[in-house]
Amino acid sequence: MPKSIIIAPERVFSREVIRFSDIPVNAYATPPKEELANYSREDLVSIWLDMCAIREFETILGEIKTKGTYQGVAYTHAGPAHLSIGQEAAAVGMAFLLGPEDHVFGSHRSHGEILAKGFSAIRQLSDERLLDIMRSYRDGALLAPVERGYAGSVKALARRFFVYGAYGEIFARDTGFNRGLGGSMHAFFTPFGIYPNNAIVGGSGSMAPGAALFKRVNRKPGIVVANIGDSSFGCGPVWEGITFSAMDQYRTLWDQALGGGLPIIFNCMNNFYGMGGQPFGETMGMQYAARLGAGVNPEQMHAERVNGYDPLPVIDAFRRKKQVLLEGRGPVLLDTVTYRISGHSPSDASSYRSKEEIDRWQQADSIRAFRAMLVDHGVAAESLDASRAQEDATIFAMFRLAADLDVSPRVSIDSELVGASMFSNQRVDRFDGRQPEFLQPLADNPRVQQVASKIRTPTDHGQPVPKMKAYNVRDAIFEAMIHRFSIDPTMIAFGEENRDWGGAFAVYRGLTEALPYHRLFNSPISEAGIVGAAVGYALEGGRVVAELMYADFMGRAGDEIFNQLAKWQAMSAGELTMPVVLRVSIGAKYGAQHSQDFTALVHHVPGLKVVYPVTPYDAKGMMNAALAGTDPVVFFESQKVYDFGELFVEEGVPQGYYEIALSEPSVKRAGTDLTIITLGPALYTAVSAASELEKRFGVSVEVIDLRAATPLNYEPLVESVRKTGKVLLVSDAVERGSVMQTVAATLTQLCFDDLDGPPVAIGSRNWITPAAELEASFFPQVSWLLDAIHERIFPLSGYQPATNQTLEELIRRARLGV
């Protein structure tokens, strides 16, 4: 079913020029008198007070960080404090019009943005809803200390609650938003529309588009704002997120009823510095962050620069840009100019800027300027200072409460809270009750029909099943996915070449006919953008399958896999779940950059479930389990075995639904003399080796496929090794630091008394993967297994090794690093 976007030669070769339109810079020129009439007095005062509250919040942090005391309260804060003093107007302006359904993502310097968004949400939510949030959030744990003896209004109580939760999070207290597991740079509070902030600068750039995607796909109200520092616009993932957000297909191919372009604002919090480097004039060439929009799409992302040293132009810009997004014309880029008067962090000596510069921005300070404007125009007078004093007192009181270890204890380090938060281990059949969208009844789908006619057993009437007729690993993954697609309306899949191509390796053939664009689509070639969007989508409460065409490309999505996908469940202390399946195909025959098994990389990273099934039975059962769970699963697949039928389960692969737990090794062949443990397609090498050992040497081999690397149940492995006393481990990953080396080391501990000798782990050579014709010298071969057994486990009588698997050789290779 090819798309109908025709590329016509006469059209693409016709003479024209690309025209750009003007990008407004500080176009806001509404006279204050006129502008003030658009606001109530109460609103204007609260804008100013919010700015003051942020200033006080940050000032206290700065003082305790540098001096260890504030107004007589001594406190030592060990963690970071990236203050945003000077940036208050930009934060309050950004948040003023956003509702609780509008979601913000930010960076390491987001205290001000968090507070501004929280205060704005408090103003907009009803008292009833606020009470409900405060009472239910962590069963009222954050509310209890701030409510005690307090008799003010619900909104004032909510402000206390919110400031207290923020300080508590920064001070690593059990009464912080996320029990202190997030901390200063990652604090967030989703009931008020505040989503994870990121210590990986620019991290929000790839995640926030996924949140906007969730809103479009699931027809949810609201927009998404990604607050990103000016220097971080040099980060690749930010560009990938922008590219992902600006795809034409939202408007050309998707159902227009979904709303068009992604509702997202990339808001550059432009304070003109990184830590000490300057994007303007030094580290980048853009001069204006707003210029970047011109390279993205014909609308130039509706980019403009606004004065973020005054909240009113920022509010005006957000009002206009929100409208653009609601009309389906996103994404938007805003260049919100501000200035960080404070240092990057308390240790910052400001050696990279002049005192004169700081003084000039201090003189123009937005808090003073806005107050003067309010007074000059008769909006408020001296009562402002009394209100500010009251606000400051509240902030200070909440600081004191959060700093008090009796009122606000830390989580007990022995409590295993962190361990218990690593995985959510829940089961969710569907994340929404509505009917899942399909383009056709499943029974009419050609692939469903074709798969139904395939043979699911190892043999057919006693004969091996011909390849074309065998129900294979591809079919198994397809079947599991279409099953979940038909149950969970939020489930979507995307990646490179996912749609008309049929998925990189034809696993998705048939899905194009079955699913509308918004449930299955091609992404840009942006691995960071793909994984980041999957993370953002899941954080919002949807199920998603993202695909990386080759494991070798994981490096392109390194941060998104290692720091985002893996960490947000634990950093939220269990408030968030991450129902993402990241399908990663491991190649062969395509040389060094398309053939590496990277299981060890993700196995090493806490917070990811890592599986690698290589039989149709295992692939279906494990994909089913992955798609019913709430944890991030890196689902490795091998291009060597996509075509393989089922060889191990005599009854065949069930037509119906079943799950295989994502931690359980599987005994593929029973034996008594030697255990061979495998991960990935080395299973088939091991099975061949086992047959040969049996036939030629009468050795009975038990072959166990790990199927999973994390989590992993060692019990079946221990049971086997106790029986055989000998163990060989093998996978196609390069041997150094492989999963098999970890399992070997652990089995040495677990089975020391039962082992006749140390476990032997072999893998591919510690080389680049050579050309297809040379692969036999790289990937473990049957002969290598026999050689290793002969040299290092027990001698096979009359056997002549073909390769050098001796311990001397092991030392030689290690010394050379190969």
Ligand X SMILES: Cc1ncc(C[n+]2csc(CCOP(=O)(O)OP(=O)(O)O)c2C)c(N)n1
Q: How far is the CB of 234 from ligand X (least distance, A)?
A: 8
Residue 197 or 615 with smaller CB distance to ligand X? 197
Q: Which residues would be at the binding site for Mg ion (CB under 5 A)?
A: 229-231, 271, 273
Q: Which residues would be at the binding site for ligand X (CB under 6 A)?
A: 107-109, 199-201, 229-232, 269, 271, 273-275, 340, 344
- Cα of first residue to Cα of last residue in the chain, in angstroms, is 48
Contacted entry of Mg ion, ligand X, none for residue 537, CB cut-off 5 to 8 Å set by kind:
none
Residue 665, CB half-sphere, CA atoms under 13 Å: how many?
Answer: 25
Helices 111-124 + 41-67 axis angle, to 10:
150
For 817, residues 6+ apart whose C-beta sits below 8 A from its C-beta are: 766
Residue 348 or 692 with smaller CB distance to ligand X? 348
Query: Residue 107 corresponds to which amino acid?
Result: S
Which tokens in the block code for residue 410?
Answer: 């830390």
Q: How far is the CB of 206 from ligand X (least distance, A)?
A: 12
Cα–Cα distance for residue pair 389/269, rounded to 1 Å: 28
Cα–Cα distance for residue pair 713/702, rounded to 1 Å: 17
CA distances (Å), origin 757, targets 326, 698, 754, 794: 68, 20, 9, 9
Percent helix, strand and coil across the chain, each to the nearest 5: 45, 15, 40
Residue 267 or 271 with smaller CB distance to Mg ion? 271
DSSP annotation string for 23-61: --BS-----HHHHHTTS-HHHHHHHHHHHHHHHHHHHHH
525 φ, ψ to 5°? -75, 85
Contacted entry of Mg ion, ligand X, none for residue 594, CB cut-off 5 to 8 Å set by kind:
none
Cα–Cα distance for residue pair 631/164, rounded to 1 Å: 30
CA angle (159, 164, 170) in 5-degree steps: 130
Contacted entry of Mg ion, ligand X, none for residue 53, CB cut-off 5 to 8 Å set by kind:
none
Q: How far is the CB of 457 from ligand X (least distance, A)?
A: 51
Q: How far is the CB of 488 from Mg ion (least distance, A)?
A: 40
DSSP code at position 165 = H
Q: Is 193 strand, coil or helix? A: coil
Residue 235 or 701 with smaller CB distance to ligand X? 235
Residue 232 or 445 with smaller CB distance to ligand X? 232
Cα–Cα distance for residue pair 647/668, rounded to 1 Å: 9
Helices 473-485 + 616-626 axis angle, to 10:
20
Q: How far is the CB of 183 from ligand X (least distance, A)?
A: 13
Contacted entry of Mg ion, ligand X, none for residue 626, CB cut-off 5 to 8 Å set by kind:
none
CA distances (Å), origin 98, targets 303, 499, 763: 19, 35, 54
Residue 54 or 125 with smaller CB distance to Mg ion? 54
Residue 292 or 515 with smaller CB distance to ligand X? 292
Going through 396-455 in order, the beta strands assigned E by DSSP cover none
Q: How far is the CB of 201 from Mg ion (least distance, A)?
A: 9
- Catalytic: which of 82, 108, 483, 594? 594
Q: How far is the CB of 56 from ligand X (least distance, A)?
A: 20
For 336, residues 6+ apart whose C-beta sits below 8 A from its C-beta are: 90, 93, 94, 267, 268, 269, 270, 305, 306, 308, 314, 317
Contacted entry of ligand X, Mg ion, none for residue 456, CB cut-off 5 to 8 Å set by kind:
none
Residue 583, CB half-sphere, CA atoms under 13 Å: how many?
Answer: 28
Q: How far is the CB of 237 from ligand X (least distance, A)?
A: 9
Residue 186 or 583 with smaller CB distance to ligand X? 186
Q: By beta-carbon distance, which residue lies closest to ligand X?
A: 229
Contacted entry of Mg ion, ligand X, none for residue 232, CB cut-off 5 to 8 Å set by kind:
ligand X
594 flagged as catalytic: yes
DSSP annotation string for 461-509: TTEEPPGGGB-BHHHHHHHHHHHHHTT-TT-EEEETT-STT-STTSTTT
Contacted entry of ligand X, Mg ion, none for residue 160, CB cut-off 5 to 8 Å set by kind:
none
Q: How far is the CB of 23 from ligand X (least distance, A)?
A: 20
Residue 232 or 366 with smaller CB distance to ligand X? 232
Hey, which residues are catalytic here?
594
